[in-house]
C-alpha cells in the first residue's frame, strides 16, 4: 500500500514574514502520521519554514535546483546547498519552469539524477497542454516525458521518486481534470513505469495529481487507485491545504 503524499507548491508567493506566520499556523494542523506532507517553499523562505517544521512530521521541499553541485552558474542553487537546509524534496520540471524558463526533458533528467545523488527526492512533473489533450496524444506525451525524465535512473532510485501528473490546462485555472481523466493518466504512468522498470518498482512509485486541487475535489481524486496524493498550488496558500491533507488521510 503506497502512502499518500500531499505537497504544497507555494510558487512565488509570500515574503519571509508572511511565510513564517502562515507556516506557524499551518504546520501543527498538518503534522499527521497517515500522510506524507511537504511544503515546497521559495528558497529564501527555507529558514522560517524549517523553523516551523522542526520536530514535526512535515517535510520541507523547494521548487527548483541546479544540476551541478557548484560552479559558475550565476543565480543558481545546488542540491548540496539545499541539503544543508534539511530540504528533502524538490519539484522538478514543473510546467511553469518548462514554459517560462525553457526547461527541457534532458535538463529535468540531469536535475533528477543530481537530486537523487544528494539524497533529495524529486517530484517530477509531467502533463499535457489543452491542445495535446484535444489531439488525443495525452498518454503518448506523458509517457515520453516520464521516460526522458527517468533515463539512466536505476530502479532503486526510481522507487523513491514522486511523479506529479499535472495537466497544464488544469493548473491555476480552477478547471480540474475529472477523477476519471486523472486516474486514466496516472494509470498510464504506472504502466510506463512498469515497462521501464518492473511491476514491483511501478507499484512503489507514488504518482500525484496536480491542477486546481481543492477541498471540494480532493476526496474523489484520492479515491482513485493510481492517485497517491496531490501537488497543490493555489489551495496551499490558505488553510484549505489542511482540509486537503485530511482527505488524504482517508
Ligand atoms: P494549482 O497549481 O493547484 O494552483 O492549479 C498546481 C501546481 O502548479 O502544482
CATH number of residue 99's parent domain: 3.20.20.70
Domain range enclosing 156: 5-247
- How far away, in angstroms, is 171 Cα from ligand 1 center? 5
Whole-number Å distance between alpha carbons of 234 and 214 = 9
The single residue listed with the C-alpha cell 503534522 is: 31
| 249 band by pLDDT with thresholds 50, 70 and 90 | confident
Determine how many CB atoms are found less than 10 A away from the CB of residue 71: 8
Query: pLDDT over 70 for what percent of the chain?
Result: 100
- Does 172 sit in the ligand 1 pocket, CB within 6 Å? yes
Query: If DSSP codes are grouped into helix, strand and coil, which group holds residue 83?
Result: helix
Read off the C-alpha cell for 182: 486523472
| 174 band by pLDDT with thresholds 50, 70 and 90 | confident
pLDDT reading at 82 higher than 90: yes
- What residues does 173 pair with on adjacent strands? none
182-197 residue pLDDT tens: 999 999 999 999 999 9
pLDDT reading at 91 higher than 60: yes
pLDDT reading at 250 higher than 60: no
* Substitution candidate for ligand 1 out of 96, 129, 229, 231 with most atoms within 8 A of CB: 231
List the residue whose alpha carbon is closest to atom 3 of ligand 1: 233
- Does 48 sit in the ligand 1 pocket, CB within 6 Å? no
pLDDT reading at 208 higher than 90: yes
Under DSSP, the state recorded for 76 is -
pLDDT reading at 235 higher than 60: yes
Query: If DSSP codes are grouped into helix, strand and coil, which group holds residue 212?
Result: coil
Q: What is the mean pLDDT of the chain?
A: 97
- Does 213 sit in the ligand 1 pocket, CB within 6 Å? yes
Looking at the structure of the chain, the number of domains it has is: 1
Whole-number Å distance between alpha carbons of 231 and 236 = 9
Instruction: Find out whether 67 and 110 touch, Cβ atoms under 8 Å.
Output: yes
Helix axes 46-53 and 16-26, enclosed angle (nearest 10): 20
What's the rounded mean pLDDT across residues 201-216?
97
- How far away, in angstroms, is 202 Cα from ligand 1 center? 25
Amino acid at each position: 500500500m503506497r502512502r499518500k503524499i500531499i505537497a504544497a507548491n507555494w510558487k512565488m508567493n509570500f515574503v519571509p514574514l508572511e511565510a513564517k506566520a502562515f507556516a506557524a499556523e499551518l504546520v501543527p494542523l498538518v503534522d499527521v502520521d497517515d500522510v506524507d506532507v511537504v511544503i515546497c517553499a521559495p528558497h529564501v523562505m527555507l529558514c522560517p519554514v524549517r523553523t516551523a517544521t522542526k520536530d514535526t512530521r512535515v517535510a520541507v521541499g523547494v521548487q527548483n535546483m541546479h544540476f551541478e553541485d557548484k560552479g559558475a552558474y550565476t543565480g543558481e542553487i545546488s542540491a548540496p546547498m539545499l541539503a544543508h537546509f534539511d530540504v528533502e524534496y524538490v519539484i522538478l520540471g514543473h510546467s511553469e519552469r518548462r514554459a517560462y524558463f525553457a526547461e527541457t526533458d534532458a535538463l529535468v533528467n540531469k536535475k533528477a539524477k543530481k537530486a537523487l545523488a544528494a539524497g533529495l527526492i524529486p517530484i517530477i512533473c509531467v502533463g499535457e497542454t489543452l491542445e495535446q489533450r484535444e489531439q488525443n496524444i495525452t498518454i503518448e506525451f506523458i509517457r515520453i516525458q516520464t521516460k526522458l525524465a527517468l533515463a539512466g535512473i536505476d530502479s532503486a532510485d526510481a522507487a523513491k521518486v514522486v511523479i506529479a501528473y499535472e495537466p497544464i490546462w488544469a493548473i491555476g485555472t480552477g478547471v480540474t481534470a475529472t477523477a476519471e481523466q486523472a486516474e486514466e493518466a496516472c494509470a498510464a504512468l504506472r504502466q510506463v513505469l512498469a515497462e521501464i522498470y518492473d511491476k514491483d518498482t511501478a507499484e512503489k512509485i507514488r504518482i500525484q495529481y496536480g491542477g486546481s486541487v481543492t477541498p471540494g475535489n480532493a476526496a474523489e481524486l484520492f479515491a482513485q487507485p493510481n492517485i497517491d496524493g496531490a501537488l497543490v498550488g493555489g489551495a496551499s496558500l490558505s488553510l484549505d491545504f489542511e482540509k486537503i491533507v485530511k482527505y488524504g488521510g482517508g
